[in-house]
Structure 1
Amino acid sequence: MDRTAIGFGEGHTPEAEWFDELRRRRIKGPISTQNRSLPRSLSPETLAVHAGTYEDPVTGAVGTPIFQTSTFHLDEASYDAFSDGALRDVPIYSRYGNPSQWSVQEKIAALEGAESAVVTSSGMAAIAATIYALTNSGSHIISAYDVYGGTYNLLREDMPSAGREVTFVDPLDLEAVRAAIRPETQLLLFESLTNPMLKAPDIRGLAQIARECGALLVIDNTFLSPINVRPLNLGADIVIHSATKYLGGHSDLTAGAATGRRKFVDRVWSQVLRFGGTLDPLVCFLLERGIKTLALRIRAQNENAVAIAEYLASSKYVEAVYHPALGGKGYSDLRLQDYQGFGGMVSFEVVGGDTGALRFMEHLTLPYVATSLGGVESLVSMPSNTSHSSLTKKQKDMIGINPGLIRLSVGIENVGDLIDDIQESLKAACEVKAP
């Protein structure tokens, strides 16, 4: 087949200049002429459905085909890509790039308001590739005590042996972040909403600190998604996702993503090549399909989570509830106009500690007791024995993971049904009759 017919022919990629010349320019993408490239100013509902879709010129299919192949025919454009250093922009080998990847990457980039994105085989693959790509041996990284357990373990266990030092701080304490800065600080890594305590750091403030010291700010936006907040608009340099969660949204895939300016994403992509964290074309198809309903799902989950948080705050069987909509410490300084909502996560402490929490989960009939989050179905787990089980008691206490802490990922079910189930399960768990 003539490659120009499917959008990858001569003239698509501008002639590359030498790497050491300042006039060398990166185009957005990678993207072919068959992918729908839409203005980032369009609404998220529209971008979620249409951005990046591959419009097949042969069949006229309105959905992106699955390019289930490991390699592509080599031609003049392929050889030019090797010589010009443009391997991201021409289909050569699926570890380098695949049209299925490019379609979903463009959709994610459009939703985050970015130039480029790269998808990976998991959220941790995206996190690891980003950290290694944007730092080097002898550098210093600042992050939060209460990042996702896998991120914390990577930073604490692997970075020292890789020649990178890490300082952990309270993500809400900007002065502590500023005090941790060193001359060799290269990266600030925080979450837009922390796991599992749902703290909401001041992203604008963190971006200002990063600019002052010449470091890059990376925000993990897994919990909020671009529907609720766009960290790049607030000053972040790179946004990462465990696309397994809200972006995919159906608990049927594992994927990650990193998005931002192409000059940064190209470096992440190169690191992904070396680590081998390529996303399979079939999973790209599932992820792109899942994202099409992202805006609708997120808004339903936003509303459900607020209603459940308000109910839990009134329950005598609950010691504490953590959700931004309830206010309290850490949320008073938020610029609420930056957020469209706070996602479907609610954390709370059940009366009776861990024993009470386990009994509560045993009595639930609707939410699944399972790890992960962000799916259309509600999921519930205890961070202390799942995502943060590797932490010591002292580390858990520092974060605020107290006995009885439950992390609820609210789905799109009828919220009345969910509240009824939670109410009955709390009652059954906490009103245990003496034998």
Structure 2
Amino acid sequence: MDKKIKFSTKCIHSGEYIDKETGAVNTPIFQSSTFVLSDEDYKKILEGKAREAWIYSRYGNPTRRATERKIAEICKGEDALLFSSGMAAISTTLLTFLSEGDEIITSLDLYGGTQSFIKNELPKFGIRVRYVDPTNLDEIKEMATEKTRVLYFETLSNPVLKIVDLAQLVEIGKRLNAIVIVDNTFLTPYNLTPLSYGVDVEIHSITKYLNGHSDVVGGVVVGSKKFVDMIWERMIRYGGAMDPFSAYLLERGIKTLSLRMERHNLNALRVANFLLTHPKVRRVIYPTLDTYPYIITSVKYLTKGAGGMVSFEIKGDDEDGLKFMRNLKIIKEATSLGGVESLVSMPFNTSHASLTKEEREKIGIGPGFVRLSVGIEDVDDLIWDIDQALKKI
């Protein structure tokens, strides 16, 4: 598609599968596990181009492929690969680029599932993990060795919302000859396109904003065709391919991504400003607030907005946080994020329950820490709900 086409138009039309026989305006669901092979398919297999042939849905599926092309386009990548979960995308990608004896530099400021995999699983493969502060990338220079192969960070960390300086990260990666991988789930390509800054691989949990309706679990990796093909080879060995119906729902969800993210951005900023002056709130974290510790970096990269995630600490302890959540009437207490509905959780007993109390406090998850995924409801209703629940603590 012409690169002059705007983002919202790409979300609707990029990658769409046009059925020549029926003229259907929507990409069909190819609900088939296997496909009849032609001479051309056999030729592609023999030439090592199996991904370009329809063979078996773990290898590739027309519905999934259309959605992958759409995501590659909106993320400004050459190609994309869909997985059955975000963790499948993350684990397969890391094991593509890391082998026994290699080292990865990352941060404790990660989604708890990712942190658990890196901390508990990678060492079993003989891979060493080194941790740095994502806002102080000079530490990478101190930690790096000739064995450093991967730099892995979240563009906006979960749940303390630290932003990473992508240009600096990529420059360091080049000097080290390391693969730079970022998880851009919280910001989405609407707010930030990491590949434009030279990042090698971009990952998303599509369960969140890309799909946006809390009805699909999946993950995606985006990057150069070379890197995506390498990851695809591991994916077909490990499994973890997305099913056709999930790909269809995701493709449909992406069509409204631009509209949804605009509303998420606006609502979250309104909620963050409200919390900032509330007497029951000790601290508010949102990347476009003047009080945000890394506002210089935020202004540099987040020109459209900072997404729908707001983190804050209630004055009190975790019990007060739980009481606050249980008194909400509109906002739902649930894990996950990025759907049209607002969701709230506390990392200490959900996303970061696998970390020790000391590890959580080290990355900024203190007593009463609440993670709020601000949806696209009327923001006045959300503010009313938050206020009435805080008053009951």
Q: TM-score, normalised by structure 1?
A: 0.89
Which residue matches 2:310? 346
Deviation at 1:40, TM superposition (A): 3.8
325-334 vs 416-425, which moves further = 325-334
Which residue matches 1:140? 103
8 Å contact kept, 2:287–2:298: no
- Listed one character per residue, the Cα deviations across residues 17-62 of structure 1 (whole Å, up to 9, x for unaligned) are xxxxxxxxxxxxxxxxxxxxx1344211011000011010010000
Matched, 1:39 2:39: no
Q: Percent identity?
A: 46
229-238 vs 328-337, which moves further = 328-337
8 Å contact kept, 2:288–2:299: no
Query: SS in structure 1 opposite 2:288?
Result: helix
Separation in 1, partners of 2:392, 2:298? 37
Which residue matches 2:376? 412
8 Å contact kept, 1:51–1:107: yes
- Listed one character per residue, the Cα deviations across residues 83-104 of structure 1 (whole Å, up to 9, x for unaligned) are 1000111111101000011010
Look up the equivalent residue of 1:239 and give its one-letter code.
Answer: E
Separation in 2, partners of 1:229, 1:42? 17
Separation in 1, partners of 2:2, 2:33? 31
Look up the equivalent residue of 1:379 and give its one-letter code.
Answer: L
Look up the equivalent residue of 1:336 and give its one-letter code.
Answer: K
Which residue matches 2:348? 384
8 Å contact kept, 2:84–2:219: yes
Separation in 2, partners of 1:338, 1:56? 38
Separation in 2, partners of 1:369, 1:330? 29
Which residue matches 1:432? none
Separation in 2, partners of 1:313, 1:338? 20
Query: SS in structure 2 opposite 1:77?
Result: helix
Residues 49/337 of structure 1: CA separation in 2 closer, same or farther (3 Å cut)? same
Deviation at 1:383, TM superposition (A): 0.4
- Of 230, 240, 247, the residue aligned with 2:203 is 240
- Of 269, 281, 288, the residue aligned with 1:318 is 281
Gaps of 5+ in 2: none
- Of 28, 34, 53, the residue aligned with 1:90 is 53
Deviation at 1:334, TM superposition (A): 3.6
- Listed one character per residue, the Cα deviations across residues 105-158 of structure 1 (whole Å, up to 9, x for unaligned) are 001000100100000000000001110112222111011111111111111101
- Write the mapping of 1:133-212 to structure 2, written as runs, cut at 5 A: 133-212=96-175
Query: SS in structure 1 opposite 2:70?
Result: helix
Separation in 1, partners of 2:330, 2:139? 42
- Of 214, 217, 220, the residue aligned with 2:183 is 220
Separation in 1, partners of 2:285, 2:43? 54
Which residue matches 1:4? none
Separation in 1, partners of 2:255, 2:5? 14
Look up the equivalent residue of 1:65 and give its one-letter code.
Answer: P
Which residue matches 1:249? 212
- Write the mapping of 1:266-281 to structure 2, written as runs, cut at 5 A: 266-281=229-244
Look up the equivalent residue of 2:343 and give its one-letter code.
Answer: L
Residues 209/68 of structure 1: CA separation in 2 closer, same or farther (3 Å cut)? same
Query: SS in structure 1 opposite 2:391?
Result: helix
Matched, 1:333 2:297: yes
8 Å contact kept, 1:383–1:406: yes
Look up the equivalent residue of 2:183 and give its one-letter code.
Answer: D
8 Å contact kept, 2:288–2:298: no
Deviation at 1:275, TM superposition (A): 1.1
8 Å contact kept, 1:186–1:216: yes
Look up the equivalent residue of 1:188 and give its one-letter code.
Answer: L
Separation in 1, partners of 2:265, 2:202? 21
How many residues were matched structurally?
392
Matched, 1:63 2:26: yes
Return the index of the structure with the highest Cα Rg.
Answer: 1
104-113 vs 177-186, which moves further = 177-186
328-337 vs 389-398, which moves further = 328-337
Separation in 1, partners of 2:231, 2:295? 32
Which residue matches 2:362? 398
8 Å contact kept, 2:149–2:177: yes
8 Å contact kept, 1:101–1:281: yes
Separation in 2, partners of 1:150, 1:337? 26
Gaps of 5+ in 1: 1-37, 430-435
Look up the equivalent residue of 2:101 and give its one-letter code.
Answer: G
Residues 53/344 of structure 1: CA separation in 2 closer, same or farther (3 Å cut)? same
Matched, 1:426 2:390: yes
8 Å contact kept, 2:149–2:179: yes
- Of 28, 34, 43, the residue aligned with 1:80 is 43
8 Å contact kept, 2:152–2:181: yes
8 Å contact kept, 1:200–1:331: no
Separation in 2, partners of 1:60, 1:290? 21
Deviation at 1:178, TM superposition (A): 1.9
- Listed one character per residue, the Cα deviations across residues 291-337 of structure 1 (whole Å, up to 9, x for unaligned) are 00001000100000000000000000000001111133222234535
* Displacement over 4 Å in runs of 4+: none
Look up the equivalent residue of 1:350 and give its one-letter code.
Answer: I
Deviation at 1:339, TM superposition (A): 3.7
292-301 vs 266-275, which moves further = 266-275
Deviation at 1:78, TM superposition (A): 1.4
8 Å contact kept, 1:40–1:113: no
Residues 54/270 of structure 1: CA separation in 2 closer, same or farther (3 Å cut)? same
Q: TM-score, normalised by structure 2?
A: 0.98
8 Å contact kept, 1:347–1:407: yes
Separation in 2, partners of 1:303, 1:229? 16
204-213 vs 129-138, which moves further = 129-138
